[in-house]
């Protein structure tokens, strides 16, 4: 028994040493972030890009959801939670998108971490109401506000305000950065308006009902195959209705997103003689793409080019 007790004691000391090392590393990393300016933790790519454009050279901006991971399905790890707890600012899109955030906030000291709901003040639209799309009750509201360049400006304003309040010493730099980025988003808005205002066709078919805000802003109508979550699939009856509608309207393109499986869109396309084209919800951009200069605005411009193939068709 004494030998076993000695073994357990030794094991306890090893574990204690390892744990203390982890805590020390986490504390050291946090201290380093503080010295380098603000440490901002964001949930997924658009929140990261918006925050980074405002922050500029001041501080560090991290993103939790890895590129290629569907944000609708993401759940934070203990390491992710620790990052948020040690951040100066935590930015997320909305409770309708990051459904895990309200529960997580119960463990966050908001006197130390400024929490930013980027869509605060924006009235969220109701999501798809078909019964077969209602399996995700937490997503009855449509969270995809960032895909509307006008609402994206409001999110940037909300993020910018929180960053200025967290680091007033660099307030003027943040204001300058925000104004510059808002100017770029306004140009993006004008690019969409110049195309959509003269478009002879106002409807487009998409696998994922992510483009409701964009469609509303520019007088378009999205015809979604599935609901707000990309993993939802339509019933056979719904697929039959869509086939008839697509054929009757002569749609030649069905849009899908790069992160989710394109299976449903491909099936519908093969049955209607259409082809599939990417229309991105911009939920994740790889580091390699970012290194090549890809960003939110660039992807939105690609989306516009993709939409042209449908809405400019006579």
Indicate the domain borders of the chain: 2-189, 199-311
Candidates 206, 243, 230; CA nearest to 133 is 230
According to the model, what pLDDT value does residue 72 have? 80
According to the model, what pLDDT value does residue 296 have? 97
Candidates 88, 61, 92; CA nearest to 76 is 92
Q: How far apart are CA 167 and CA 157, in angstroms?
A: 15
Q: In what order do the strands lie in the sheet with 275-278?
A: 221-224, 203-206, 253-256, 275-278
Coil, helix or strand at residue 79: helix
The number of residues in the chain equals 314
CB 111 within 8 A of CB 88: no
CB 206 within 8 A of CB 224: yes
DSSP 133: G
Q: Give, for all 314 residues of the chain, the pLDDT tens digit.
A: 333 344 433 333 333 434 444 444 444 444 444 456 899 999 999 999 999 999 999 999 999 998 877 788 889 999 999 999 999 999 999 999 999 999 999 999 999 999 999 999 999 999 864 444 434 444 589 999 999 999 999 999 999 999 999 999 999 999 999 999 999 999 999 999 999 999 999 999 998 889 999 999 999 999 998 776 666 677 888 889 999 999 999 999 999 987 777 888 898 999 999 999 999 999 888 788 888 888 999 999 999 999 999 999 87
According to the model, what pLDDT value does residue 260 have? 72
Candidates 118, 116, 189, 193; CA nearest to 154 is 118
CB 108 within 8 A of CB 115: yes
The CATH code of domain 2-189 reads: 3.40.50.1980
Beta pairing partners, 126: 141
The CATH code of domain 199-311 reads: 3.40.50.1980
Cα dihedral sign, 149-150-153-158:
negative
Do 2-189 and 199-311 come out as alike in CATH topology? yes
Candidates 270, 152, 264; CA nearest to 209 is 264
According to the model, what pLDDT value does residue 13 have? 36
Total-model pTM: 0.84
């Amino acid at each position: 028994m004494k030998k076993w007790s000695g073994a357990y004691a030794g094991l306890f000391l090893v574990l204690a040493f390892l744990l203390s090392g982890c805590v020390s590393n986490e504390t050291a990393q946090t201290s380093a972030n503080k010295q380098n300016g603000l440490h901002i933790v964001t949930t997924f790519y658009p929140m990261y890009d918006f925050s980074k454009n405002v922050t500029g050279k001041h501080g560090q901006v991290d993103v939790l959801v890895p590129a290629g991971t569907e944000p609708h399905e993401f759940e934070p790890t203990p390491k992710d939670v620790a990052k948020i707890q040690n951040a100066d600012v935590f930015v997320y899109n909305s409770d309708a998108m990051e459904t895990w955030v309200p529960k997580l906030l119960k463990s966050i000291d908001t006197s130390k971490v400024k929490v930013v709901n980027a869509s605060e003040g924006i009235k969220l639209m109701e999501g798809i109401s078909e019964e077969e799309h209602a399996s995700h009750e937490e997503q009855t509201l449509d969270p995809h506000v960032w895909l509307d360049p006008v609402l994206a400006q409001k999110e940037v304003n909300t993020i910018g305000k929180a960053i200025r309040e967290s680091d007033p010493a660099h307030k003027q730099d943040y204001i300058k950065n925000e104004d510059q980025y808002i100017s770029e988003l306004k140009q993006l808005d004008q690019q969409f308006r110049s195309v959509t205002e003269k478009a002879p066709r106002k409807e487009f078919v998409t696998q994922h009902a992510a483009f409701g805000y964009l469609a509303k802003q520019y007088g378009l109508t999205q015809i979604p195959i599935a609901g707000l979550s990309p993993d939802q699939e339509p019933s056979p009856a719904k697929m039959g209705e869509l086939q008839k509608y697509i054929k009757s309207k002569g749609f030649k393109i069905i849009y899908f997103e790069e992160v989710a499986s394109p299976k449903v869109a491909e099936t519908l396309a093969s049955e209607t003689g259409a082809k599939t084209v990417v229309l991105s919800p911009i939920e994740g951009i790889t580091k390699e793409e970012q290194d090549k200069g890809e960003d939110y605005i660039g992807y939105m411009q690609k989306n516009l080019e993709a939409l042209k193939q449908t809405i400019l068709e006579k």
